[in-house]
Amino acid sequence: MVQAARSKRLRWMQPLPLVPSGSVRITDGVALLEDEEGGVVFIWGRASFSWSRSDSASRRLAAVQLVSTGVASQRQTSAGFGVNETTLWRWRSDYEAHGLIALFDEKKGPKRPSVLTEEKVDEIRQLRREGNKLREIASLTGVSLNSVQRAIVGLFEDSTPPRRRQGRSSHSPSRATARPSGGRHGRD
């Protein structure tokens, strides 16, 4: 009789949520603890996933596996990890399609060496000083319009402005100064 009462009581008892203080609750029995050294996911008091601060792939894998194994929902996991649900969905999709390698950070910045060598920047700046338009310079030098714009930044800070092409008058009034007084809205 004592044995039957004891086993009945055990069926209704919930496991204690054993998590360290300062952790973030993801769902019942699941918590995330992160600090400057890295992070740990606890499931019913056991450290189940861990990573160092520089290991973003393992952190992403922990989030993906919490959802994939059904331990926590996507919404709960994304909230606990502090990421958008769409981001977590993308991590899961990438992981399913390409495996662990898909969870590594991509290299930020240019994917190939810059075409803007010092010589190319000098060439672009010289063409601009001669009065060429940006699109013409891009075509003549074989670089993108964006690269041309980056190359000429600061061009006029310590050099002479571009010469105007023949046929243009440097003394013609601009549109702003050529308007009659009084403007559109009233009379002066």
pLDDT of residue 1 exceeding 60: no
For 16-38, what is each residue's pLDDT tens digit? 657 788 899 999 889 999 999 99
Average pLDDT over residues 37-63: 93
- pLDDT at residue 11 greater than cutoff 70: no
Residue 174: predicted pLDDT: 44
What predicted TM-score, i.e. pTM, was given to this entire model? 0.51
- Helix ranges, the chain (H): 2-12, 56-68, 74-81, 85-98, 118-129, 134-141, 145-152, 175-178
Do 129 and 162 touch, CB atoms closer than 8 A? yes
Q: Please check whether residue 63 is in contact with residue 81, taking contact to mean a CB–CB distance below 8 angstroms.
A: yes
Is pLDDT at 49 greater than 90 in this prediction? yes
Give the pLDDT confidence score for residue 77 in this predicted structure: 95
For the chain, how are helix, strand and coil distributed in percent, rounded to 5?
45, 10, 45
Residue 186 has pLDDT above 50, yes or no: no
Kindly state the tokens that stand for 159.
């050099």
Compute CA 78 distance to the chain's CA centroid, rounded to the nearest angstrom.
17
Q: Dihedrals φ, ψ of 31, to 5°?
A: -140, 155
pLDDT single digits (tens) 143-185: 888 888 888 875 655 455 555 555 554 444 444 444 444 444 4
User: For residue 77, what are the contacts with CB-CB under 8 A and spacing of at least 6?
Assistant: 26, 63, 66, 67, 88
What is the longest distance spanned by two Cα atoms in the chain? 110
Q: 132: which 2 tokens?
A: 């060429």
Q: Residue 144: its pLDDT value, please?
A: 85
pLDDT grade for 71, boundaries at 50, 70 and 90: very high
Query: Do 38 and 89 meet the contact criterion of CB atoms below 8 Å apart?
Result: no
Q: What pLDDT band is residue 61 in, cutting at 50, 70 and 90? A: very high
121 backbone φψ class: left, alpha, beta (φ>0; ψ -120 to 50): alpha
Chain segment 75-132, per-residue pLDDT in tens: 999 999 999 999 999 999 999 999 999 998 766 555 555 668 888 889 999 999 999 9
